[in-house]
Structure 1
Amino acid sequence: MELLGVDIGGSGIKGAVVDTTTGKLLTERVRIKTPQPSTPQAVAATIKELVETIGYKGPVACGFPARVINGVVLTAANIDKSWVNVHVENMLSKELGTDVYVANDADVAGLAEMCFGAGRNEMGKVLIVTIGTGLGTAMFFRGELLPNFEMGHIILNGDDAERYCSDSAREKLDLKWKEFGKRFNEYLNRIEFLVQPDLFILGGGASKKFDKFSDRLSVGSARVIPAETLNLAGIIGAAMYCERRLNEKVQSKSKSSS
């Protein structure tokens, strides 16, 4: 299917039309700065602008930087606090005049990475960590997603892990990549102790510099590798999530009519 995927981040909102069979982008990737403050009304207007710029008409899915359950935003670490308890799917559907589906941004990025990236054919316990404005995590077991597996906010050295070793923390603290790698290694070791994954896949903006800090990473038995879909994961995964939701809708109608 050819569907529009939107990746809503703390600093930018990005989107493109994706061929969900191949994971290839069919249009140019469009990026618009996330409005500040990132209120529901401002973000909705920006997404509408992005969709109109691409010239797309049809259902849309968004990866959102928060825990989203049954279409409702439950957390707001890297977006305006006014999002909490907003039914984001209903609001965006009304704004865009089409069906809009929303899921956690790390979860949708994980879908792309497991299908088209470094997670292909991995059937063990895989934890994908997106390193950007915050730390997003997505857990897969035997290829299936465990949604809203939020491990970016564990307490590490007395603080939220995001404020200790996200890419924005690296920039704010002006850390060299080796210093960042040492901090991030503490995070990986803590996560390994808690959930014992077989594989860590590191995505997000910082993953493009994996070779600059990989020699500082040393965990127990888990492998640590960089993502392959990189900054496109959120867009590709959102389009895949859209396809899933559309298929579920068709199946639900089929069951109700039988």
Structure 2
Amino acid sequence: MTKPDQTSPAAESLGPASATLPELPKRAIGIDVGGTGIKGGIVNLRKGKLIGERFRIPTPKPATPQAVAEVIATILEELLQREKAPAEQELAVGVTFPGIVIDNVVLSAANIDDSWLECDAAALLKHLPGHVSTMNDADAAGLAEARYGAGANREGTVMMITLGTGIGSALVHDGVLVPNSELGHLEFEGVVAETKVSAAARERADMPWDEYGETLRRYLRHVERIQPTGLFIIGGGISKRSEDFLPQVTGLRAEVVPAALQNNAGIVGAALYAAEQARLAETRPQR
């Protein structure tokens, strides 16, 4: 395959699938901001696995940007003190948020404090060492599963659906993330999908597992009509009980499987994304 000319305008849009992307460092750090906890870890980018234990601190209440930034800094400081932390000269740090993130600006706050709306996360975290990148939490989990987990070595389109307090979604095509799909906010059977299909919705309704599996089946068929995919990966803490509801999810064109990386997927995906963005920054022409 002929490599693109890096002096051409197309070189500015290089993505992770490009043959011109330099080799990634061996390790990076991922930090996953959630509604109840903020957790981080050092990630082996060759294997997509954590090196050592992850470090978790409860999410502050209220979870304002400044309060969360202080926790992120504390977690990063702890991880950098570990023996196998990335070297400072190649440090990449990925941070996820439960909202739409475009150009490091948080543009939705469905499941986080409203004060995050229009927050420039890059400016908020500019005091942190290394190359810091931010992204949506479901996107991070989906990227990790597509590269290292249940979607590894799959060509074409892979979609991850995370079932928790709400519904997150991630769309990956041939290993490249299409960010901020937000398919949990689709209208489904007259309501916003996550109010009926999320793990929290099942608990609120005290829904039996087989009934929940049937509801999920209908939702995935709805999603499949809007955005066809070859594989649905079901994530979130509820994926640990996949044998209780996935048998009811039948009749779809796509294969449906539980996530492989479980609760570490967000950390792994954030670290991978940050490492790639750091390399892309080196590759793109300077302005």
- What is the TM-score of this pair, normalised by structure 2? 0.83
The answer to whether 1:192 aligns with 2:220 is no
Q: C-alpha distance in 2, partners of 1:151/1:170?
A: 18
Give the match for residue 78 of structure 1.
111
Secondary structure of 1:247's match? helix
- Structure 1 residue aligned with 2:63, among 25, 38, 46? 38
**Most deviating of 68-77 and 131-140:** 131-140
The answer to whether 1:215 aligns with 2:244 is no
| CA shift digits 1:194-223 (9 cap, x unpaired) | 112121111121111111101221243111
Q: C-alpha distance in 1, partners of 2:150/2:140?
A: 15
Kindly provide the amino acid, as one letter, of the partner of residue 164 in structure 1.
Answer: K
- Structure 2 residue aligned with 1:104, among 123, 132, 136? 136
Kindly provide the amino acid, as one letter, of the partner of residue 41 in structure 2.
Answer: A
Aligned residues: 254
Q: C-alpha distance in 1, partners of 2:36/2:209?
A: 21
The answer to whether 1:256 aligns with 2:286 is yes
**Most deviating of 30-39 and 60-69:** 30-39
Q: C-alpha distance in 1, partners of 2:203/2:122?
A: 33
Secondary structure of 1:29's match? strand
Q: C-alpha distance in 2, partners of 1:33/1:171?
A: 22
| CA shift digits 1:105-144 (9 cap, x unpaired) | 1111111111111111211221111112221111122332
Give the match for residue 123 of structure 2.
90
Secondary structure of 2:62's match? coil
Q: C-alpha distance in 1, partners of 2:130/2:176?
A: 28
Give the match for residue 4 of structure 1.
29
Q: CA deviation at 1:233?
A: 0.6
Q: Against the structure 1 CA distance between its residues 45 and 219, is the aligned structure 2 distance closer, same or farther, given a 3 Å change threshold?
A: farther
- What is the TM-score of this pair, normalised by structure 1? 0.92
Secondary structure of 1:25's match? strand
The answer to whether 1:65 aligns with 2:98 is yes
**Most deviating of 108-117 and 155-164:** 155-164
Secondary structure of 2:52's match? coil
Contact kept in structure 1, 2:143 and 2:172, CA below 8 Å: no
Q: Against the structure 1 CA distance between its residues 44 and 198, is the aligned structure 2 distance closer, same or farther, given a 3 Å change threshold?
A: same
Kindly provide the amino acid, as one letter, of the partner of residue 117 in structure 2.
Answer: V
Q: CA deviation at 1:68?
A: 0.5
Kindly provide the amino acid, as one letter, of the partner of residue 157 in structure 2.
Answer: K
Contact kept in structure 2, 1:192 and 1:219, CA below 8 Å: no
Give the match for residue 29 of structure 1.
54
| CA shift digits 1:22-45 (9 cap, x unpaired) | 112112112222222221112112
CA RMSD, 1 decimal: 1.8
Q: Please, which runs of 5 or more residues in structure 1 have no aligned partner?
A: none
Kindly provide the amino acid, as one letter, of the partner of residue 155 in structure 1.
Answer: E
| CA shift digits 1:70-128 (9 cap, x unpaired) | 1111111110111111111220223x354421011111111111111111121122111
Give the match for residue 6 of structure 2.
none
Contact kept in structure 2, 1:89 and 1:102, CA below 8 Å: yes
Q: C-alpha distance in 1, partners of 2:273/2:92?
A: 11
Q: C-alpha distance in 1, partners of 2:130/2:279?
A: 16
Contact kept in structure 2, 1:188 and 1:219, CA below 8 Å: no
**Most deviating of 215-224 and 204-213:** 215-224
Give the match for residue 178 of structure 1.
210
Q: Against the structure 1 CA distance between its residues 91 and 98, is the aligned structure 2 distance closer, same or farther, given a 3 Å change threshold?
A: farther
Secondary structure of 1:256's match? coil
